[in-house]
Amino acid sequence: MRAFLKSRALSFTYAFSGWWHVIRTQRNAWIHALVGLMVVVLGFWLGISPRDWAVIVLAIALVWTAEFINTALEAIVDLASPETNELAKAGKDVGAAAVLIAALSSVIIGLLILGPPLWHKIQTLIFNS
């Protein structure tokens, strides 16, 4: 049992090491973090429902997951093909496209969930002042 618990603890250590690698090396990760934080703050300010929070959390997780997988893919491609190669380029480009799709989908989700209550709040602030 002790060996099992130790191996699980090591798994978390490796996962956090990977997380730190992404934060340290990927500029887009900082953009994802900033936008995600802004969305969370906006969600609290607007008082969105628990169901809306669930969708927002899934959207943020989707973007982060795509970014992490893309970073892993890039590292593996660089290791396997250090010189320029069309297939390596295609693999990297497809990984980047996956992040783009996740990010654009998350923007649409954010607009659908946060847009109406934000518009209402803005109207209230402008017309009740």
Tokens 């602030």 identify what position?
125
Joined tokens for residue 42: 């906006």
Helix (H) or strand (E) holding 50: helix 50-80
Report the candidate in 29, 31, 30, 53 with the shortest Cα–Cα distance to residue 40: 53
Catalytic-residue membership of 83: no
- Residue 127: other Cβ atoms inside 10 A: 7
Would you give the distance in Å from CA 105 to the centre of its chain? 11
Catalytic residue positions, numbered: 67
